[in-house]
Amino acid sequence: MSLTAARRATLAALADSLLPHGGALEPGAADVDVAGQLDSYLDRCAPGTRRTVNLMLTAFNLSSIASRHARPFRLLGAPAREAYVLGCEKSKIRQRRETLIALKALILMFYCSDDRIKPLIGYDGQPYKKVEHDPGVVELKVEQPDQGFFETADVVVVGSGAGGAVAAKELAEAGLKVIVLEEGEHFDRRDFTGPPPERLRRFYRGNGLTFTIGVPTISLPIGRGVGGSTLINSGTCFRPPDFVMEAWGMDTAEFEPLFADVEATLNVEPVAGDIMGANGEVMDRGRRELGYSGGPIRRNARGCHGSGVCAFGCPLDAKLGMHVTYLPLAARAGARIVSGCRVDGLVIENGRAAGVTGSIVDPESGAVHRDARFEVRAPRVVLAAGAVYTPALLQRQRLANSSHQVGRNLRIHPGCGVLGIFDEDLYAWKGVMQSYYVDEKLQDGILVEATYPPPGVGYSAGGVGGKGSDLKDVLARYRQTAAAGLIISDTGTGRIRATPGGGLLITYNLHPDDLRKMLEGIRLTAEIYLAAGAIEVHTQLPGMPAVRKREELDWITEGRWTAADLKLSAYHPMGTCRLGKGPESSVVDQYGRAHDLPGLVIADASMLPGSTYVNPQITIMALAARNARRLAAEMS
C-alpha cells in the first residue's frame, strides 16, 4: 500500500466528511471504500504521483493545527472535521484551499466512478448513438526496443504528437528517411477502456497530476503516448482567427491550403445534431436567446457515437488522433515510429545539430532502463516534444538561446468550469464531450465551450462546492446539470525551467487582466445558462452562492476576487520557443529553424508566437506541415 496508516486515516476522514452515509445518494465514501481504492490505485502510479498525494495528505492533516481546532485533522471529531472542511473551501489561505480542492477532486472522481454510485447518478456509460460503421482498427507498426541501439536517418523527429506526427508524414512523403522517437507507449482503441482514473494513469504524463506553480496553482494535464496529447484531447478543431494570424505577420492566404489539407486528413466536420447531446443543446438554446455568436464545434472524428470520453482516449478511435491518421501515413511512406525512447540530449557536431541521444524507458512506468542508451544520427533534428519538454531539452545543453527566450513566454489558455442546473433531465454526458462554442467575446480573449467529461471528473466536478448533504444534493442532480469550460487567451506568461536531475519547473502567475477576462467569461457562461432556463448556476468562486437570476450576475464581475480565488486548469501550453524575425527576441524563424543552431527545426506548440485564442492543434499542425515542407525542399 502506498499510504501510511496515518495518511490513509486522513484520507478516509476527509472522504467521510465530504461524502458521509445517507442523504440524496445513500452510500457514503466509506461504503464504497474510496480511501482503499485510491490507496491501491497509487500503488500502480509513478513514484512522483505517490509523493504528491502523500504530501497533500500530510499538509492537509497538519493544516488544521493552525486553525481554531488546534489538532491534526484526522484526530478531530466529525462535527469539527466538517466545520474545518467548509472553512477550508472559503479560506483566504490559498494553500489550505487548494490542497482541499485537489484532494476533493480525487475523492469525487473515485466515488463517482464506482459501479455502485454510477447508477444512482444515472450514468450508464453507454454511447449516445448506436455505431453504424465500425471504423476498424488502424494497424500502426510501432517499434518498442528493449535494448540500446544506434541508427542513422535523414531526419530524426522527437515526439509524435500534433507537431511531430505531421512533420514526420510530410518529411517521409518527400522521400526522406525519417525516425520518430516517442517516449510514451503505443495505445489504440483496444486500450481506451476502464474507469477515468485508470485512463488518467495510463495516458497522461505524471498520471494526470501536472501543475503550474504560482498564483493560483493551475492543473496542466499533458498526454504521453504515440500520438501525444491528440490521444486524449477533446477533438476540437478551430483555425486561428484572422486577427491572430495578422498579428503574427502571417499570410492567411498562404495558410489556407495548409489548413484545408490538415482538415481533410482529419475529416474535420461540425458536430452533427444526432450526437450533440443535451450539453450542447442547452448552450445552443441560451446563445440563441441572447443573440450571441457560436455554433457546433468542428472536430476531427469519423463514426463518433457520442460516448463523451474523448479526453480519456476514444474507445472507437473515432476521434482521429495522430495515431490513426498522420502516423500511419508517415509509416506508409517509410517512417519508423519508435516508442519508449526518451531523448535527453542533442548531438552537436561542428556547431550543428547532428542527432539525438537518450534512454530506453519502460513505456508504462516511464522508468529509465539505465544501461539501455540509444543514439540516432541525422543531419536534421526536428524537436516536437511539446511546449513543456522541447525548451527543457534545449536548456539542459544551453542550446539555441542567444535570445534568452527558450522556456519563456509560456501561454496556457487558463480555463475554468461553470455548471448550470436545470429542472429537466439532461444526462449531459451523453453526446460529444466538447460539442458547442460561443465566441461572442473572442476578440476580448474569451471562448466558451460546452464540455462534459464523465460525472465527477474535470469540469463536471469543478463547480461542486460544499460537503455532506449539500454536496450529495448536487451529485444527485448531475443528470440535470450542464457543464461548460471557458478558456481565455492569456496576456500574462509563465516559464519552463529545467532543473538538475532531469526535472523541470513550470511557473505561471495569472495576470490581472486575465483575472478580469476570466470573471467576464464566467459571467458570460452563467448568462447563457440562465437564458437557456437554468434554475441555478454554480461558479467556482469560493463562498459564492449559486446564481439564480440575471441581476445576480454582477456578483461575479463586481466581487472582490483575486487570482488566488480561481480554480483553474489549462490544456494548451505554447510559446516557449517562439518564432520570430531574429535571434534578439525569438528562438526560431518562421519555418521553425533555430536562429542559433543550424540543423535544428522546432515543430510543436512551443514555436507559436503567442496565444492562438482558440484550441491550438490545427494551428500547430499547419505550422508543422509548413516547417517540414520547407525542410524537405532544402534537403532535396
Ligand X SMILES: Cc1cc2nc3c(=O)[nH]c(=O)nc-3n(C[C@H](O)[C@H](O)[C@H](O)COP(=O)(O)OP(=O)(O)OC[C@H]3O[C@@H](n4cnc5c(N)ncnc54)[C@H](O)[C@@H]3O)c2cc1C
Q: Which residues bind ligand X (CB under 6 A)?
A: 158-164, 181-184, 221-225, 228-230, 232-236, 311, 341-343, 384-387, 389, 434, 571-572, 604-605, 615-617, 620
- From the CB of 308, what's the least distance to ligand SF4, in Å? 5
* Number of residues located near ligand SF4, criterion CB under 6 A: 15
- Kindly tell me the sign of the dihedral angle through the C-alpha atoms of 256, 261, 262, 268: positive
316 binds, among ligand X, ligand SF4, none (CB under 5 to 8 A by kind): ligand SF4
Q: Are 203 and 232 in contact (CB under 8 A)?
A: yes
For residue 79, give the C-alpha cell: 462535527
Q: Give one DSSP letter per residue of 552-621, joined into a string.
A: GGHHHHHS---GGG--EE----B-TT-B-SSTTT-SB-TTSBBSSSTTEEE-SGGG-SS--SS--HHHHH
Rg (CA), the chain: 24
**Beta carbon nearer to ligand SF4, 310 or 602:** 310
Footprint (CB under 6 A) of ligand SF4, residues 420-449: 432-433
* Cell 452515509, residue located: 21
**Beta carbon nearer to ligand X, 61 or 307:** 307
- From the CB of 413, what's the least distance to ligand X, in Å? 9
Distance CA 540, CA 417 (A): 7
For residue 229, give the C-alpha cell: 496529447
The one among 307, 409, 590, 619 contacting ligand SF4 by CB under 6 A: 307
604 binds, among ligand X, ligand SF4, none (CB under 5 to 8 A by kind): ligand X
219 binds, among ligand X, ligand SF4, none (CB under 5 to 8 A by kind): none
**Beta carbon nearer to ligand X, 17 or 307:** 307
- From the CB of 361, what's the least distance to ligand SF4, in Å? 27
Is position 572 annotated as part of the catalytic site?
yes
Classified as helix, coil or strand, 71 is coil
**Beta carbon nearer to ligand SF4, 296 or 355:** 296
Distance CA 215, CA 472 (A): 30
For residue 217, give the C-alpha cell: 496553482
Q: Taking the C-alpha atoms of 273, 274, 278 and 284 in order, what is their torsion angle to the nearest 10 degrees? A: 0
304 binds ligand SF4, rule: CB under 6 A:
yes
- From the CB of 521, what's the least distance to ligand SF4, in Å? 24
- From the CB of 384, what's the least distance to ligand X, in Å? 5
Query: Which position among 186, 323, 538, 572 bears the catalytic label?
Result: 572
**Beta carbon nearer to ligand SF4, 193 or 443:** 193
Distance CA 240, CA 610 (A): 11
Ramachandran class of 242: left when φ > 0, alpha when ψ lies in -120 to 50, beta otherwise: alpha
How far from each other are the two terminal CA atoms of the chain, in whole angstroms?
Answer: 57
Classified as helix, coil or strand, 541 is coil
Q: What binding mask, one character per residue, do residues 309-338 give for ligand SF4 by CB under 6 A, x or -?
A: xx---x-x-xx-------------------
Enzyme catalytic residues: 572
The residues that touch ligand SF4, with contacts defined as CB under 6 A, are 235, 301, 304-310, 314, 316, 318-319, 432-433
